[in-house]
Structure 1
Amino acid sequence: MDKLTTLLSFLAALSIATERITEIIKGLPILSAWLAVERKPGLQEEFRKASVQGLALLAGTLVAYLVRDPLGKQFGVTDLSPYTYWVFGAMASGGSGIWNSALDIVREVNRRKQIATEKLKAA
């Protein structure tokens, strides 16, 4: 369970980092006119949203790649496929909300296990 909690914590942190990097890039003077300004519904707006998602995917993939050594040590994995970074990047580009929910679920499971253990000790 500790490794699962560690993985979910990593994914939450990766999501937050990805979100921050994406927002910083969206705020750059030349890019902000395209990425940060919403347009009327239509093809341009859909392309803008897809561009922001693509940027978030690249940012998440880059961050996952940059932390590969500590991540590998934490999980005892020495060789990760390049596709692994893309998968982590895709998960992170969805936002941090999903990982916060996942961490809440893990905490609740741990709490229930603790209650069950205490009941067994009391019996």
Structure 2
Amino acid sequence: MLFRCAAELPVFAAIVLSAVFFLAQRRIYFETLFYYITIYLLAAFMLGGGSKILMHAGVAVFTAFFLVTDPVVLPLTRQGTNVFALLAAFFAGVLGLWYPAVTAVCYSILIMNMFVPWINDRMRPGSRRGI
């Protein structure tokens, strides 16, 4: 059940309001958020998460808005950012089989940080190399 504790609703509202603020200022891309949340929840469901999807949803939303969209760790291009989000969500879903959701998300972001130079090289503006 959602919002069982008194502090959950204000925290959720703060996350949503700050996300709307960042989207309105065009500091983050909507499709990056969509790709991350969709792939993460799909992987969690397909890999046996079934009844725990609501438990993973909060972690997925927080990660999508604050960790995956962090400009310090992201690739340079919009397409590279989307690839980063897709792969991070996939790794988080797979690692979620062995680790708690928060740990799996942190490991997936760390793994994807290693791939950022490669994504930048492949997704360079004006480059025809691609993945």
Same fold (TM over 0.5): no
Q: Given the two structures, how large is their TM-score scaled by the length of structure 2?
A: 0.29
Whichever of the two has the greater Rg, that structure is 1
Structure with more helix by fraction:
1
